[in-house]
Amino acid sequence: MAKWFEKKLERNGLRKYSKKRLSNSSFGSFFRRLSLTNWIILINVVVYLMILILTPIFTAEKIVSLIGLEANKFFTGIYWTVFTSMFVHFEAWHILANMISLFFIGNFVEKLIGRKRFFWLYLISGIFAGLFYVFLSYYFGAGIIGMKLFGSPDVVAVGASGAIFSLVGVLAIITPYSRVYLISGPLIALIIQAIFTGIYPNSPAEGIINIIVTVYVFVSIFSMFSFNPRFVRIALPLKMPFWLLPIIAIIPLVIVGLFINLPIGNSAHFGGLLAGLAYAFYLRNKYRQKTDMIRRYFAN
């Protein structure tokens, strides 16, 4: 009986399968369980760490020229930067803010539309946001108003926010009434920093202001993970429906940007948002029953 049982196990492949599963390390299992969103986050973090390592070897200007998106250089044939810039961050607060946003919004969208659709949406919309930025910057960014609205053609743009705004666009259509928090504190801090730098250029206090703003941004972001309501208020969170988020996140910054030079690529954000909205309307028209069900489910 025992011998027959052993042979049956081998014949059915159960023993071989069990050994294979047991031999797999928890490290490998961890990576298999990662969502596509988390893989993208991991890639961004690795690129950020590589830049930190390479900066003492190569100058920051050299690195930026190779992987950052600049309109003037793009139209001279450096086309790959429209892709590489999606995964590049030079400031700690920048990557932290983008990756936390991507973690929550990206994983939500990935669960709604699926891994394959999410991959192509993120990739294509990120590239579209970059192209949107360089075309507007190159053709309309030379004048004073154009530079404030679309960015100067010799200014480098980096970051994942263009692709992230496409995900916001999808949720604004698919789950318009679900609630989300906009962390307004860091945005206000960056505006104050820009105002101070504009009024007092090369001030000895500029370094101190930069440190204070950076610390506040970090504290604000981490406060949102706190279970203490008083601590959460540090970030000045604004609760709103998803349909309102892209409006609040773009239009006020465009208006402020007319008077103050902000380190924010509004045109790339708007391009990513347009790509996300277009894809969301496509999904809603093709899968109306499913999208209506999702909308009702997340209405409260």
Same domain, 147 and 106: yes
Question: Structure tokens of 242?
Answer: 């998803």
229 and 88 part of one domain = no
State the average pLDDT over residues 16-40: 64
Asked whether the CA dihedral 70, 186, 238, 223 is positive or negative, the reply is: positive
Asked, for residue 49, whether it belongs to a domain, the answer is: yes
**Do residue 62 and residue 141 come from a single domain?**
yes
- Does any domain span residue 101? yes
Residue 29 pLDDT: 55
Q: Residue type for 293, please?
A: M
Instruction: Locate the DSSP E strands across the chain.
Output: 179-183, 237-241
Taking the CA atoms of residue 270, residue 274, residue 277 and residue 278 in that order, the dihedral angle to the nearest 10 degrees is: -170
195 and 290 housed in the same domain = no
Among 22-31, 76-85, 202-211, the range with the most confident prediction by mean pLDDT is 76-85
269 domain-assigned: yes
Is 247 part of a structural domain of the chain?
Answer: no
Asked if 86 and 122 touch (Cβ cutoff 8 Å), the reply is no
* Residue tagged 């239009």 (tokens): 251
Same domain, 133 and 71: yes
pLDDT on residue 221: 80
Q: Is residue 276 pLDDT above 70, yes or no?
A: yes
Q: Is 219 exposed, middle or buried (0-12, 13-18, 19+ CB in 10 A)?
A: middle
AA letter at 71: A
Task: Indicate if 94 and 220 belong to the same structural domain.
Answer: no
pLDDT tens-place string over residues 216-266: 888 888 887 777 788 888 888 888 999 999 998 888 888 888 877 777 888
Is there a single domain that holds both residue 193 and residue 154?
no
CB of 147 within 8 A of CB of 257? no
Domain interval for residue 233: 179-241
What is the tally of structural domains in the chain?
Answer: 2
Q: What would the mean pLDDT of 37-42 be, rounded to a whole number? A: 96
Residue 7 forms part of a structural domain: no
Boundary residue ending a domain (195, 216, 241): 241
Residues 120 and 193 grouped into a single domain: no
Residues 228 and 79 in one domain: no
Query: Distance between alpha carbon 157 and the CA centroid of its chain, in Å?
Result: 13
Clarify whether residues 75 and 163 are in a common domain: yes
- Which conformational region is residue 159 in: left (phi greater than 0), alpha (psi within -120 to 50 degrees), or beta? left
65 assigned to some structural domain: yes
8 belongs to a structural domain: no
- Assess whether 148 and 53 both reside in one domain: yes
State how far the Cα of 92 lies from the Cα of 297, in Å rounded to an integer: 36
* Domain identity same for 210 and 278: no
Residue 76, classed as helix, strand or coil, is coil
- Res 38 pLDDT > 90: yes
**Rounded to an integer, what distance in angstroms lies between the CA atom of residue 54 and that of residue 115?**
33
Helix (H, G, I), strand (E, B) or coil at 241: strand
Assess if residue 197 is contained within a domain.
yes
Question: At 47, which CATH number?
Answer: 1.20.1540.10
pLDDT digits (tens, 9 = 90+) for 5-21: 445 445 555 445 444 54
Average pLDDT, the chain: 85
Mean pLDDT of all residues in 154-176: 95
Please tell me the pTM assigned to this model. Answer: 0.84
| CA end-to-end distance (rounded Å), the chain | 60
